[in-house]
């Protein structure tokens, strides 16, 4: 009897082990470089937060222009964008998806819960109405032509209207979100899981204030069966700790390994890595418009950055190819404009930016600064791949032409506050371009124009009438060929005037188990559906 009991016990142990093995094989464990902040889909477009939320919620159109909850779209006229919606889709709670949910979601996006703006509040300000024409058709009406609306709506997560007590009949859209709806879900309700209901391939099981999240497969997903039964997302800020977690088996995929980490994996059959050219440009921003630039000190008391020859000298001083080859391990692309040169709509004929330190010294001397001047170079030390090392290299290049550089590598939280308060005269920055190659230039270099949504992030204080004219035409042009032409014209002017200095285009990196295939994304987001078993 004891022998039989022992055999039964061993069989049970084996079955349990097999069960755990099977569950483990269908669980994907991912380590993000930073913690997702919330599962409220309207509060942040930061990559870690957006990556998590994309598992749960869907928009009408994907970041890479794939059809999600919309099957087609077109401009009915210059100010009416029509979406035809996917039929047969259900939310995680079983509610059927319809145009009513799109109107409701637009109202929730514009409504300031606790008085706080959402990430699309300004971007959707040209929208005057959102109309459910029927269950499967919705129209967005704008006060004037607004060709980038489709790109903006890629961040409009669609929620079930059943989450709220709705007025009888059609929802009347209001651009302040006052649509007769009195109980929009709060951030706390999203994070508790109560309101975290979308149509995405995964359902939220748990979200912690640390940013850790557990997801389970949505077995009723309208598209292809999701790859994983369970997804566990953790955040590990330190790159070495992320790599150690991968090697220890704690994670299957990690974001943003260093180039040294990637090199160390070569020859190890158990692990691999994936590199994907991204839409992120890394560049310098220069305060070219102020009489006094913060942190920039010249012997004549002027702002030397106002002189084009000084800006040209700074650009000439930088060996971009050496940065890409030696600091980025070849996993970046040398920049010749502010948007990735390989992105659709970028100028394909833009020449390379020259490296010539001797010429740079001549330009400085001609501008009246033969002995250089002093500047603070600010850079976030926890934001971009090898960012601190690149900033150190930039400081060295500048010092070789006579500039006296005080490098200030700071945590993103500190850097961001200084940037927002316009206390940084020279800083290194990165910008993704999910809305196309004009996204950065329209925000960063255009003169402020609220009606056209231009110049909101013009920290360079740059102004050029010809640039503004091209951007103003771009902002209202719905013909894509003409739109690209205006954007390219503006880009050529910006590269000529150098209110900033393009450096390189960052590639996204993931290290992972070798039995997995990872299809990297250009928007740098990490989500379970880009990972599959070989």
Token pair for 89: 């889709």
Burial of 134 (0-12, 13-18, 19+ CB in 10 A): exposed
DSSP state of 521: -
Residues 428/413, Cβ–Cβ less than 8 Å: no
Domains and CATH numbers, the chain: 47-235 (3.40.190.10), 279-506 (3.10.105.10)
Residues 285/295, Cβ–Cβ less than 8 Å: no
Question: What is the chain's pLDDT, residue by residue, as a tens digit (534 residues)?
Answer: 444 455 554 444 444 444 444 445 799 999 999 999 999 999 888 889 999 999 999 999 998 889 999 999 999 999 999 999 999 999 999 999 999 999 999 999 998 877 788 887 877 888 999 999 999 999 999 998 988 899 889 999 999 998 887 777 889 999 888 888 877 888 899 999 999 999 999 999 999 999 999 999 999 999 999 999 999 999 998 989 999 999 999 999 999 998 888 888 988 999 999 999 999 999 999 999 999 999 999 999 999 999 999 999 999 999 999 999 999 989 999 999 999 999 999 999 999 999 999 999 999 999 999 999 999 999 999 888 889 999 999 999 999 999 999 999 999 999 999 999 999 999 999 998 888 899 999 999 999 998 888 999 999 999 999 999 999 999 999 888 999 999 999 999 999 999 999 999 999 999 999 999 999 999 889 999 999 999
Cα 459 to Cα 463: distance, rounded to the nearest angstrom: 11
Tokens 């319809």 correspond to 98
- For 327, left (φ over 0), alpha (ψ -120 to 50), or beta? alpha
Cα 248 to Cα 210: distance, rounded to the nearest angstrom: 22
Question: Checking DSSP bridges between strand 253-255 and strand 27-32, what pairing results, if any?
Answer: parallel
What number of other Cβ atoms are within 10 A of residue 205's Cβ?
14
DSSP state of 461: -
**Where does 356-499 show beta strands of DSSP type E?**
374-380, 404-410, 426-431
End-to-end CA distance of the chain: 46
DSSP state of 115: G
pTM of the model: 0.83
What number of other Cβ atoms are within 10 A of residue 84's Cβ?
17
């Amino acid at each position: 009897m004891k022998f039989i009991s022992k055999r039964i016990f061993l069989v049970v142990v084996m079955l349990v082990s097999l069960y755990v093995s099977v569950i483990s094989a269908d669980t994907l464990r991912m380590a993000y470089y930073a913690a997702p902040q919330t599962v409220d889909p309207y509060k942040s477009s930061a990559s870690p937060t957006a990556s998590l939320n994309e598992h749960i919620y869907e928009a009408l159109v994907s970041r890479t222009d794939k059809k999600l909850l919309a099957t087609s779209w077109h401009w009915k006229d210059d100010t009416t964008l029509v979406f035809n919606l996917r039929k047969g889709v259900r939310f995680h709670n079983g509610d059927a998806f319809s145009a009513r949910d799109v109107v409701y979601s637009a109202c929730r996006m514009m409504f300031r819960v606790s008085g706080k703006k959402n990430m699309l509040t300004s971007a959707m300000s040209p929208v005057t109405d959102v109309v459910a024409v029927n269950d499967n058709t919705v129209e967005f009406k704008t006060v004037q032509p607004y060709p980038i609306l489709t790109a903006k709506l890629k961040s409009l997560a669609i929620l079930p209207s059943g989450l709220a007590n709705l007025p009888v009949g059609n929802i009347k859209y209001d651009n302040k979100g006052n649509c007769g709806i009195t109980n929009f879900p709060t951030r706390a309700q999203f994070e508790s899981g109560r309101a975290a209901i979308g149509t995405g391939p995964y359902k939220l099981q748990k979200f912690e204030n640390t940013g850790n999240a557990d997801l389970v497969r949505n077995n009723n997903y309208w598209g292809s069966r999701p790859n994983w039964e369970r997804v566990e997302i953790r955040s590990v800020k330190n790159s070495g700790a992320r790599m150690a977690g991968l090697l220890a088996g704690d994670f299957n995929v990690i974001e943003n390994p260093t180039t040294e980490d990637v090199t160390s994996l070569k020859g190890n059959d158990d692990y691999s890595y994936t590199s994907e050219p991204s839409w992120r440009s890394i560049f310098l921003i220069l305060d070219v418009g102020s009489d006094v630039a913060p942190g920039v000190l010249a012997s004549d008391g002027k702002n030397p950055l106002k002189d084009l020859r000084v800006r040209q000298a700074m650009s000439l001083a930088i060996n971009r190819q050496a940065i890409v080859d030696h600091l980025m391990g070849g996993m970046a692309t040398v920049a010749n404009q502010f948007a990735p040169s390989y992105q659709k709509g970028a100028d394909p004929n833009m020449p390379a930016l020259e490296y010539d330190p001797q010429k740079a010294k001549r330009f400085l001397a001609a501008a009246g600064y033969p002995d250089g001047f002093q500047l603070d170079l600010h850079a976030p030390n926890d934001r971009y791949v090898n960012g601190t090392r690149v900033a150190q290299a930039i400081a060295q290049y500048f010092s070789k032409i006579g500039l006296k550089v005080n490098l200030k590598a700071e945590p993103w939280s500190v850097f961001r506050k200084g940037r927002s308060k316009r206390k940084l005269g020279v800083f290194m920055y990165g910008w993704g371009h999910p809305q196309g190659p004009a996204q950065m230039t329209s925000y960063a270099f255009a003169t402020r124009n609220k009606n056209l949504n231009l110049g909101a992030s013009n920290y360079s204080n740059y102004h050029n009438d010809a640039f503004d004219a091209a951007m103003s035409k771009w902002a209202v042009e719905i013909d894509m060929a003409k739109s690209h032409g205006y954007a390219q014209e503006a880009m050529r002017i910006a590269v000529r005037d150098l209110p900033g200095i393009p450096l390189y285009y960052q590639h996204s990196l993931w290290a992972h188990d070798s039995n997995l295939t990872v299809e990297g994304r250009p928007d740098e987001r990490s989500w379970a559906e880009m990972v599959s078993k070989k």
